[in-house]
Chain A
Amino acid sequence: MDRARTVKAPAFLDRNWVSSCGLISGQQRGRLVLDLSGTERIDSAGVCFIELLGRMYHEQGGQFAVQGARPGIAKQLDGGKAARAVVTAAPPNEGLFLRLGGGLVSAVGVAVDAISMFAEMLYWSTIGLFRRQDIKKGAVYEQMYQLGYKAVGIITLLSFLIGVVLSLQSAIQLKNLGMGIFLVPLIGITMIRQMGPLLTAIILAGRTGSATTAEIATMVVGEEVDALRTMGINPMQYIMAPKFWAISLTMPLLSIIATAAGIFGGYVIALLYLDFNTSMFLKELVKVIKLEHILAGCFKSMVFSWLIIWVGCYFGFRVRGGAEAVGRETTSSVVVGIFIIIVANAVFSFIM
């Protein structure tokens, strides 16, 4: 049997001594006796330190004891034990497969919840309207103003700048090859089929998606959603349906505005850098643009709008907790929203 090692604690067993004594680090084997005969005061760190040492020695097969504690100190140490007795035990250390399985089950749960939210959104915004109309009068127009009209400025400006940058980069290469004339189909088709809808969707995912999540999450946290339920008002329809229709109607229009602004950016570069004139640019543009390109762009932007509002609502309704949770879900909503839009755009590029 090892001889017991005795350590004398100071008069004030506080957090400074706990950090410097070095008893926590290393192996907790053999026997350790902590002599508290000279200890007059002890702080919370000291109480927890003694409790922790006892547990660590016990778990590693060693022995730990306290001696000479004065009645006041002993009472504090007993208080520490009593307080911890009601604390829920820490979760057991799970194995790799258990954690992987748990993660998979949780991911499936999230996917099922998200899909069911999408189905509910489509139902309550369309067929569900024939069953009940829990929508406030004028809510769709209000949302169209908030989600659509107020985004026109930023979307126009950014699309114009993207059109300028895209055209400038292309024009340099095309001019070197003597194919400057191809700038018009390049910028025209790119903006109509890809950049117009995509840029609009990304801007709205950041702007509208985050606003939607923050609004709904704040309502959930403030029990406003529960209040709607107890008033017999369907919160899905009351909150989601106006947003669904507003974004479905405004997003294709915003996408057309973005496309026009981007093409205008290309026109400016063509004029300044490639010595085009207006009629030449328009003639080339009309030649390449077909109705199917415009319809494809509109269809894409319509689908993107549903994805934005779906993600925004999903993260808003799933919030649990307080203000911090609202911020966390809003961030997740923007990240996931942009990610889903880019993935959907990639899928559309293959099939359309």
Chain B
Amino acid sequence: MKIAVTGLNATDNPGPGVPLIRSLKFEEKFDAEIIGLVYDALEPGIYMENLTKKNYLIPYPSSGLQNLYERLFYIHQQEKLDVIIPTLDSELFGFVKLEEKLRELGIKMFLPTFDQLNIRGKDKLFDFCIDNDINVPKNILVSSILDLQKIPEEFDYPVVVKGIFYDAIIANNLEEAKTAFTKISSKWGLPIIIQEYLKGDEFNVVALGDGTGNTVGAVAMRKLYITDKGKGWAGITIYDNNLIEISKRVIQSIKWRSGMELEFIRSTETGQYYLLEINPRFPAWVYLAPNAGQNLPYALLQLALGEKAEQFDKYKVGTIFVRSSWDLITDISVFEKITTKGEI
């Protein structure tokens, strides 16, 4: 069996591909070869020993679906892929659009639907939470700098200025909000989300929904160390029934079909959890889940293959991950091969 995985960019802003592969290999029953699908010749996963059997460059989503399909078609001819597991936000819409055509080739995936992807979008999350009685920070959508004048009518500074896909900047006044608006909109487009700033501790949940409303498993984590890019560099599994129950309620409401990461903040003022974001894929810290007793990536693979996945209801609290930087040394011929031939 051959499983293709994307997102091998294990950098200081890591993609989930490498930890997802490590999770699959963590499972004793796992017996398949991994094919890496990479966007850049320097994605570190290419250079890690015993991680993938082969790696192929694939075109960026912005270059069009037909290009991606043709490249996947070629890779499938070489490798006879059984499953593709896309792991990055930016490529998900493309893979969802290609799902039918890839299925016709015999390639299986386990992805959310368009509607599910849209519901959890940053611009729709507020309405979803209100409809489902889930606490969420107040927010407004703005499409021009002039709209920022409305902020004091809705809530006090500081506010969080967020891009539609990525980026979030805290603004303490109108001037800072304008600067953040310009910076984020030039990179990620419009609208911009202006969100109430809540003071508190951040908690994250990695979960897997089977598409019927059932939660296959869910593991909660608190970041112990955060980089200046806001990425968790160390974290610990924690358990709070409220947190897991809210996550299950989200999956039930959306009938989520795939892996996901839910980001919460527990307000210092109210002690309540507020849902900040739903990321439509496993997080880069997903390798913590199998080590705490829930191999959610392996369960996703089973679901993609049409098999029954193990139902998880507990995990080990106090399991810690600590990320590290590690230099991989290689010869220029390796880099040359992936750059010129697009595969290695």
Our verdict on whether A and B bind, yes or no, reads no
**Interface of A toward B, CB cutoff 8 Å:** none
